[in-house]
Structure formats: structure tokens, C-alpha cells
Structure 1
Amino acid sequence: MSISQSGSFAQHAFAADSVCAEVKIEIAQELTLERQAFDAHMRINNGLSNITLEDVDIDVSFSDETGNVVHASFDPNDTAALFFIKIDSMDNITNVNGSGKVDPATSADIHWLIIPAPGASNGVPQGTLYYVGATLKYTIGGEEHTTEVTPDYIFVKPMPELVLDYFLPSEVFGDDAFTDEIEPPIPYTLGVRIGNNGLGTAKQVKINSAQPKITENKQGLLIGFAIDGCEVNDVLTKNTLLADFGNIAPNKASVARWIMHCTISGKFVDFKADFSHSDELGGEQI
């Protein structure tokens, strides 16, 4: 097995003058994160022009740095598994559980989706090393052959675990619609604390808060919100509901607050916000 962009390991089914089957398996990355899937691809080339490879059975195996077998499961509810695996696609083969066939002079491609379970990194910031290999079994004319595909490695790093706490007053005070006098608005604070309870760094964390809704406006009066200031970790930023927290290290927290006012007094009844962060492998987690 080869894990990396440097190529794949090819192993002949048996050491004869002609090659019966050539097996290639590769994982196109050397690093993954807990709960983030990666693709494992196996190609079986049947080099025989008139013989079918039958009863194809493939067992993908996992082991740790010391060679101990690591439990992987096709059952997403298996709480003992460190890796979850499922077949993502198959071309030129319909089964790899003992009844698959590879026609003569044909290549079969199998893709597995593999997901490291939470805790698979063992909390090691630089990642925990695992080996991924496979055993291929098939028959030719009723005779069974077995190929052990050489394992290669992959590192699993910990994921961040973000917890958000919002702080918002239940009432805001501005002009009282039931009096003739126009009362000035009283500023209030909308605050948020983001804690990273995981062992991985959350990168490029951003929060895009929605405008709060206000009730007790039966007269249909015009209500307006305004942002008077915004701070992230006590540093003034742009007056916008989009707050950029940057990176949040493991077991650390960041805070932001928006100083706002409302033209009419009332009570908050609903509030929604979205947050996102980028992981080390690229892309955005929402």
C-alpha cells in the first residue's frame, strides 16, 4: 500500500513468468484529522487475456506504530472503532466480499471512504501514526491465491471542539412608544465567548451574527439597530456583525462584543448566528 503522492506499491499475485494480477492501492494524502474522511483507492489489474479472477475478497487492515491491530468498523455505531470505513465506489467489479470478479484484461477500481474516530489522534498535536494495509484473496480455476499489500502510513491529528456562549440582555431600552417624549437609546452589549475544548487548533475562526429580532411592536413602529463598536479580544475592529477571531489554540478561548443600540425599547425573542473555521487540510468547517 502506498500513502502519499509519491506513487503506489505494485505487488504481483504470484511469482510466475507472467503476471496474473497486479494490485495497486493508494491514499492520496499523508495527513488527516479526526472525523475527517479520506479516500483509499485500490486498483486490480487482471493481466490474463482469457482467465477471470473470481471470488475476490479484500480486507482493509489498520495497525498502530508498534504493529498492534487497530479496530476499524463498517458500523457507524461501533463505539470501539478507531476508524470507520465504507465502500464509496466500485468500477468493473460488483463485490469485494468474496464473490467479486475481475474480467480478463480488465482493471477494477475500488474506493473506500475512511474516517478516523474522535480520539484516534490520542491527543498528540503532531499526529499519531497508523499503518493501513490490505489482504486480497481471489481464485483462478478454483485455486485460491492471496496477496498481502504492503502497508504504508498516515498521521491522524486532533480536531478542535468549539463551544460558543452568547451574552445578550433580555430587554433593550430606547424611545418609549407610549410617551410623547423621545428618550435617547441606551447602548447594550452583545457578547460571545468561543472556547476550544479540543486538542487541535481552530484556524481562521469567524462568526457572522444575524440581526436580533425584537417584539412588542404592535403599533408597527419603525425599529432600527445600529452597531456603535466591535471588539475582539479587547481590540477594536470594524463595526460589523462579522467577527474574525483568527486562530484559537487548544484549551484557549476568545471573546468578542458588539456595542449596539436600538431606537425603540423592547425584548429579544430570537437570535441566530453561524460560525466557521478552516482546518489544516484546507476547506471550511461550519
Structure 2
Amino acid sequence: MTVLRKKPFFSMIIIILGSLLVLVPVYWMVATSFKTTPETFENPLTLIPRHPTLQAYKNIITSYSFGTFFSNSLIVVIGATLLTLFISTFAGFGVSRFNFKGRAAFLGFILATQMFPSVIMLVPYFRILKLYGLINTHMGLIIVYISFQTPLCTWLMYSHFETISKDLDAAASIDGLGQFGIFFRIIFPLSLPGIAATAIYSFINSWNEFQFALVLTTSDKMKTLTVGIGQMIEDTKVNWNEMMAANLLASVLLILVFLFCQNFFFAGMTSGSIKE
């Protein structure tokens, strides 16, 4: 009986420690963003800003082209997410519902693409985009993001479609529906949680991407938010209050997207673990 009582206690301790591990850096980011520049370098460090100010937020908006970086990220991320979702949804449906020669090899290839570090593709991507004049363009980044996100998103959608009984397809086919009719009228409504989970994954992955955006955009007018924030690190100093303010603003959109879609996200991520 004593052991059973101790288990919830130790579980609670682990949960609290894990929560602190996540929340303390977030609190420090928020607190630092409201400090003055001299206060961020004081020793000992202050946990609560003595004179809270919005000056750091004003500086990043007026001095670092934050609006341009933000709009570039938004354009690229929305474009990449929508196109990745379109491709991976139909690809996942096709692999799930059609038996064709090489199907198992195709699924294995999809997983194999996730075993290689993306950095090995930097030079090939750069040379291809330069050949077609797509360096420093939104479309260039969108194409790159689609190419390395589609395999995993296809696997996620395939796993989700596998949880939907194929008897529904057979019943709809008897009623006279073709494959497109079956997909749009039967499968698509049932797949919204999986589609939402895949969309959130693609959105967050594209929003946080740094290395491709750094290499494939050399013009300040085309840089994304992650690259723009990286440029705030100067040769001789780092204004930590401005850096934290920029990171906080960059995180707000992700937090809102996740809070709005969290039910779909968890439903979609867990549905793939159960097969009808």
C-alpha cells in the first residue's frame, strides 16, 4: 500500500521538474524582453525587471525590419504548408487504398529519406535554384520546404488513412461513387484530425527552419524571421532584451496556432497508432 501511495508522489515530482525545465526558459525570455539593455548585463541577474519597458519591442520593429522578416516567413510557411498538405494527402490516400507493384519499397523509401541529415542537400538545392533563378525568392524556399517535408507528411497521412475501414470505400463504390467521390465525400471528412495534425507539423517545421533560409536567401528583403533574428547577433555584442523580444514575438503565432488546433493535433497523432 505504501508503494502504491509513493508512485503518484514521485510521478508528480517528475511532472513538476519537467514543467520547470520548460517554463523557466520561457519565463526568462519574457522577463528579459521587458528589461533595459544595461539591466540584462547586470551581475547578479534580476529575475523580475526593475523598470519594465517596451523599448526592446520598439527597437526590433523599427531597426531590424522585423515586419519584412515576419511577412516573408508567413508567405513561405503558408505556401509550403498548403502545397505539402495537398501532395501528401493524395499520396497517402493512394498508397493506402491502391495495391501496386513496389508499394512496400515506396514506403521504405519514404522512411529512408528521413535517415539522412538535411544539411547534405544544401549544395544541391542551391545549385538547382540558382540554375532556375529561384535564389532569393519565396517560391524557391517553398519548393525546398515541400521537398523535405512531403515524405514524412505522406507517411503521417498514410498511417491515418489506414485507420479508416476500407469497408466504407466498398459501400460507397456500390452506391456508384468513384475514387474522387469516395475521397471527398467519405474519407476527407473522417480525415480532418489527421490532416490538421499534418498541417501543424508542416507549419511549425517550416516556421522554425533556419539553415536552408540562411543559404538560399542572401537579400535582406527576402530573409525569413529565423534568419533575421540570427542577424541580431553582432560581432561585438548581443542585445539580449531585443533578442528575447524578437523570439517571443516569433513564438506567439506558433502558440496561437497550436492552442487553436490542439484537439485536432492530438486526435490526429494518436489515430495512426490504432488500425481498424
Please tell me whether Structure 1 or Structure 2 has the larger radius of gyration of its CA atoms. 1
TM-score by length of 1: 0.20
Q: Which has the higher contact order (CA 8 A, sep 6+)?
A: 2
Instruction: Determine which structure has the larger strand proportion and give its number.
Output: 1
TM-score by length of 2: 0.21
